[in-house]
């Protein structure tokens, strides 16, 4: 079993620093980078701090630390997707206020390793925040071993779920392009979990909105890149400069920026020849060339809301599962 010294060694800090971060000690300030390094070391080593009650200076108020695991939905590197890292930051921020901490961070792919799954199940987690729908056998196993599970964008009705309105964001994007004069609108995206792209809410809403506007969905302009930026670029390039639509709705900012890059390489001017709109408003989208028009999804607030929900469950909330939908807004920049 890993010790606090093992965590300190891996994070390149002192054991005292590890202790302060894990106990949310605010007296000595630490940088966000140091905090992230410590939390990653905790996750990698499966370090389990002692759970203890705080000093009962106020007889009316007792508070105990609780541990929460997170399942990221990143399809590439564990810490490489800014969308999910922003959600994770919101979770960490709110758990700190609630007296909890993230002690394990994994992806669904990592749980395919039996040893990793066993450590996860035996970690004694008080709660779990999962950021994607899981196969039923795995979800049932987690539900049997972890007392409180909150979903982010999972669509599951048996647990609290925090999400944005997928149907509305696609309609906003397509209608905005239509208002700007576009009638040939393509779609770039991928599936969700085990479900194919054409069953995703964003794609279905794209198709429905196109039909409502009496626009044709051209299969040549519907690109399933599986959320892989390289594949996205290959698919856009494969259309050829003479057969491109006048606009692409990309169901994530990362795919939108991949599309911008390959269009630039093809000599296609954005937005004069092809407009591009993204979805999520990750921080780097404002620095794209040109700056990316997108739909803002309140990722930090989603993380905060999920952390509040799991904290309430740990403290005894037994009300029916809640579905919490946060608002999204259009951010106009220069790519449309």
* Per-residue confidence (pLDDT) for residue 91, from 0 to 100: 95
Calpha distance 80→91 (Å, rounded):
17
Mean pLDDT of 167-181: 98
Sorted by where each begins, the domain ranges of the chain are 4-54+61-164+299-327, 166-296
**Token representation of residue 164:** 């944005």
Residue 57 has pLDDT above 60, yes or no: no
Residues 2-16: what's their mean pLDDT? 77
Phi, psi at 222, each rounded to 5°? -100, 110
> Average pLDDT for residues 172-183, to the nearest whole number?
98
Compute the distance between CA of residue 1 and CA of residue 9 in angstroms, rounded to an integer: 15
Per-residue pLDDT, 261:
97
CA distance 125 to 104: 9
Query: In the predicted model, what is the mean pLDDT of residues 149-175?
Result: 95
Token digits for 62?
């007792």
In angstroms, the Cα distances linking 148 to 108, 128, 268, 315, 316 are: 18, 6, 50, 10, 10
Inform me whether the pLDDT recorded for 60 exceeds 60: no
**Measuring CA to CA, which residue among 3, 6, 1, 336 is closest to residue 178?**
336
**pLDDT band, very low/low/confident/very high, at 58 (cuts 50, 70, 90):** very low
* Token pair of 99 as six digits: 């007296």
Give 56 or 87, the one with higher predicted confidence. 87
Average pLDDT over residues 286-290: 94
**Mean pLDDT across the chain, nearest whole number?**
88
Query: What's the pLDDT score for residue 53?
Result: 38
**Residue-level pLDDT at 23:** 63
- The whole-model pTM stands at 0.77
CATH of 4-54+61-164+299-327, one of 3.20.20.140, 1.10.10.10, 3.40.50.2300, 3.10.20.340: 3.40.50.2300
% the chain with pLDDT above 90: 70
Q: How far, rounded to the nearest angstrom, does the alpha carbon of residue 160 sit from its chain's CA centroid?
A: 16
Residue 69's pLDDT is 95
Average pLDDT over residues 202-213: 98
In the predicted structure, residue 54 carries a pLDDT above the cut 70: no
Instruction: Give the residues across from 71 on adjacent strands.
Output: 106, 130
Q: 37 vs 183, which has greater pLDDT?
A: 183
CB under 8 Å to 138, separation ≥6 — which residues? 108, 111
Tell me the per-residue pLDDT of 231-254, one tens digit each, with 9 for 90 and over. 999 999 999 999 999 999 999 999
C-alpha 194/C-alpha 215 separation (Å) is 29
Q: What is the mean pLDDT of residues 289-315?
A: 96
The pLDDT, as a whole number, for residue 27 is 47
CB 21 within 8 A of CB 84: no
Indicate the angle between helix axes 4-11 and 32-45, nearest 10 degrees. Answer: 130
Residue with tokens 């491109």, as numbered in its chain: 244
pLDDT at 64: 53
Q: How far apart are CA 54 and CA 68, in angstroms?
A: 18
pLDDT band of 35, cuts 50, 70, 90: confident
Choices 3.30.360.10, 2.60.120.200, 3.40.50.2300, 3.40.710.10: CATH for 166-296: 3.40.50.2300
Strand, coil or helix: what is 235?
Answer: helix
Tell me if domain 4-54+61-164+299-327 and domain 166-296 are identical in fold: yes
Residues 74-130: tens digit of each pLDDT: 666 667 788 988 999 999 989 999 999 999 999 888 898 999 999 999 999 999 999
Q: What pLDDT score does 76 carry?
A: 63
Q: What was the pLDDT predicted at 55?
A: 37
**End-to-end CA distance of the chain, in Å?**
54
Provide the CB-side half-sphere exposure for 215 (13 A, CA): 25
105: how many CB neighbours lie within 10 A of its CB?
A: 22
């Amino acid at each position: 079993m890993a010790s606090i010294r093992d965590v300190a060694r891996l994070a390149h800090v002192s054991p005292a620093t590890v202790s302060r971060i894990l106990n949310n000690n605010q007296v000595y300030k630490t940088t966000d980078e140091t905090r992230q390094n410590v939390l990653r070391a905790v996750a990698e080593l499966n370090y389990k701090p002692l759970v203890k009650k705080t000093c009962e200076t106020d007889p009316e108020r007792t508070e105990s630390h609780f541990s929460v695991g997170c399942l990221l939905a990143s399809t590439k590197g564990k810490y490489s997707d800014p969308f999910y890292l922003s959600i994770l930051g919101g979770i960490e921020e709110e758990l700190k206020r609630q007296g909890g901490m993230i002690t394990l961070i994994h992806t669904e792919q990592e749980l395919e390793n039996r040893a990793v799954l066993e450590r996860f199940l035996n970690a004694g987690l008080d709660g779990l925040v999962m950021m994607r729908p899981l196969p039923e056998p795995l979800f049932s196993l987690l539900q049997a071993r972890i007392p409180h599970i909150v979903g982010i964008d999972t669509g599951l009705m048996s647990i609290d779920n925090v999400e944005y309105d997928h149907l509305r964001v696609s309609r906003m994007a397509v209608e905005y392009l239509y208002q700007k004069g576009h009638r040939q609108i393509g779609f770039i995206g991928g599936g969700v979990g085990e479900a194919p792209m054409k069953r995703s809410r964003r794609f279905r809403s794209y198709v429905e909105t196109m039909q409502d506007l009496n626009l044709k969905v051209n299969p040549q302009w519907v690109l399933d890149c599986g959320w892989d930026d390289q594949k996205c670029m290959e698919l856009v390039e494969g259309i050829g400069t003479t057969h491109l639509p006048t606009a692409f709705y990309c169901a994530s900012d990362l795919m939108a920026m991949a599309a911008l890059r390959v269009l630039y390489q093809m000599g296609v001017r954005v937005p004069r020849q092809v407009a591009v709109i993204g979805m999520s408003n990750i921080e780097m989208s404002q620095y794209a060339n040109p700056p990316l028009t997108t739909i803002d999804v309140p990722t930090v607030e989603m993380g905060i809301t999920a952390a509040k929900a799991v904290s309430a469950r740990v403290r005894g909330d037994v009300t029916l599962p809640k579905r919490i939908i946060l608002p999204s807004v259009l951010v106009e920049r220069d790519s449309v």
